[in-house]
Chain A
Amino acid sequence: MIELENVSCGFGGTPLFSGLSLSLTPGSFHFLTGPSGAGKTTLLRLCYADLRADQGQVRLFDQDASSLGRDGVAMIRRRIGVVHQNCAFLDHLTIAENIALPLTVADRAAEAAGNLPELLAWVGLTAQAGQFPPELSGGERQRAALARAVIMSPDVIIADEPTGNVDWEMSQRLLTLLVELNRMGKAVLIATHDLTMIRTMKAELSARVLRLKDGELVQAGAEL
């Protein structure tokens, strides 16, 4: 569904990585780790057409990302649920409205009525539904971001540090959801520093762990 082939990308001349390839297929589960500043967020942004590759090819749902118009990008993004590292909420809308936003902008707001309460309960934000993003804690915002990422029931879920600010118990709960969605055939890609989480999950899943370091993407193995 998402394929990167020999991709290089960087800011201001020097590429962060080059010759990088990655393929997300239905039902696949990937962790992406690496030191801060290695380019994890950059790599994820390539996957939802928020950045263009300098070289190489990015294929999103069998379409060449570089040839997508703005509407084409919008359509692709409706099939990819993203938890952004900085959450990217609209501060003037309530948490419930923010979570429903992907449906709203797709003119499918009516569908939110069914899913939303369940989703809010599941990320533990029922009580906060009417609050505004700046009033929430970092962890609460991340949970809301995850709820927004899955509300469209996307084919691919991409999460950038989704558990950075939540406690162990909550991060287990969030991951369990991602695992469930993965079992339903969705491709999941999570960027995280949290090696403990990776170790726990790896045992349960046939998850692949990729490590981005010094411009190279390598499969991490036994050292985890």
Chain B
Amino acid sequence: MKAVLDLIVGDPQADRAVPHTGITARLTVFATGVMAFLAVLVLALSMTAGRVADRWADELAQAATLRLPADADAATIEKALEILRTTPGVAAAKALTEAEQQALLDPWLGPNLALDALPIPQLIEVIADDPPYDPEGLQARFAAELPDAVLDDHARWRAPLLKAANRLRLVTWLVTLLIGAALAAMVVLAAQASLAANVQVIHVLRLVGARDIYIARAFVRRFTLRAAFGAALGALAGVIVVQLVPVGDAPGSFLAEIGFQGAGWLWPLVIPLIAAIVAFAATRAAALARLKEQT
């Protein structure tokens, strides 16, 4: 902790002892910037996917549909509704009117469809209570009493959807980790290059009595600040790009929701900090190891 404080407020002279190498400095800032940018995009994607999946899953969990053949008569419909009403865990059951069915089909088949010309199955919307009904029991009951009815409880849609969403989340976290590892590797390489370019400077510092930790500090301070700065720029650019993603006109579409919400906003703020911590640890380890070799 003290090392970190020293670094931020610390003696700027410690940094001055090592000459600035323009190109490594700019490349470090650039590379950390790019990585922070990518990290922001990936995290935005991850959170959006998570949110959308959660909501879909919720909606699907609540509603199920009972499908009756197109030629089902009023008595059959009434019987189906009766079965549903007497099933514990069903909050409501409602046969969709022709207009409602038409609305459901509009997006697929267009508004000018003559519904009665087609054999459209009759749909009954089933809203689950809390705790919900047992779908298999209900299925069995319909099989016995109304074999033509098909209960679509959406569970078979929901499970793979959730699985896919969780995979996606896992993959994005993995990508974020890889970005962090690549950042560490890049900083180590840059620090190594900088140490190698400054062999003579290190020799002089040692001649006047500098300890390894002092010399390392000069490099660590520089690379940490560069990484933090680059990552802040990259994260900012990432947030701007995420905000600029064209919002789809269909509400509820995936693209319309891309971005951070609520506590998710902490991530773009935390990224520069994480980049700085990664750079600090990586440069420190690299510098001390290298100084040990170089006498």
26 A-B pairs in the complex with CB atoms less than 8 angstroms apart? A50-B207, A70-B206, A70-B291, A71-B212, A74-B210, A74-B212, A75-B209, A77-B206, A77-B209, A78-B209, A82-B207, A84-B207, A90-B17, A90-B19, A90-B204, A92-B20, A101-B204, A101-B205, A102-B208, A102-B209, A104-B13, A105-B205, A107-B214, A109-B11, A109-B13, A148-B208
What separation, in Å, do the CA atoms of A69 and B220 have in the docked complex? 22
Which residues from B are CB-within-8-Å of A102?
208-209
Q: Which A residues have a C-beta under 8 Å from some C-beta of B? A: 48, 50, 70-71, 73-75, 77-78, 82, 84, 88-93, 97, 101-102, 104-107, 109, 148, 152
Given contacts A105-B214, A148-B208, 10 further A-B contacts (CB under 8 A): A71-B211, A74-B206, A75-B209, A77-B206, A92-B19, A101-B205, A102-B209, A105-B208, A105-B211, A107-B214
Nearest-neighbour CB distance to chain A for B127, whole angstroms, equals: 72
Nearest-neighbour CB distance to chain A for B215, whole angstroms, equals: 8
What separation, in Å, do the CA atoms of A104 and B209 have in the docked complex? 10
B201 at interface, CB cutoff 8 A: yes
Q: Do the beta carbons of A101 and B208 come within 8 Å of each other?
A: yes
Nearest-neighbour CB distance to chain A for B218, whole angstroms, equals: 10
Chain B residue at minimal CB-CB distance from A70: B212
What separation, in Å, do the CA atoms of A4 and B16 have in the docked complex? 37
Q: Which B residues have a C-beta under 8 Å from some C-beta of A? A: 11, 13-14, 16-17, 19-20, 201, 203-212, 214, 291-292, 295
Which residues from A are CB-within-8-Å of B206?
70, 73-74, 77
Nearest-neighbour CB distance to chain A for B295, whole angstroms, equals: 7
Which residues from B are CB-within-8-Å of A50?
207
Which residues from A are CB-within-8-Å of B212?
70-71, 74
Q: Do the beta carbons of A89 and B204 come within 8 Å of each other?
A: yes
Q: Do the beta carbons of B13 and A74 come within 8 Å of each other?
A: no
Which residues from B are CB-within-8-Å of A70?
206, 211-212, 291-292, 295
Q: Do the beta carbons of B208 and A77 come within 8 Å of each other?
A: yes
Which residues from A are CB-within-8-Å of B14?
104
Q: Taking A70-B295, A105-B17 as contacts, is the C-beta distance between A90 and B201 under 8 angstroms?
A: yes
Nearest first, the 8 A-B pairs at minimum CB distance are: A105-B210, A78-B209, A92-B19, A77-B209, A102-B208, A74-B211, A88-B204, A74-B209
Which residues from B are CB-within-8-Å of A109?
11, 13
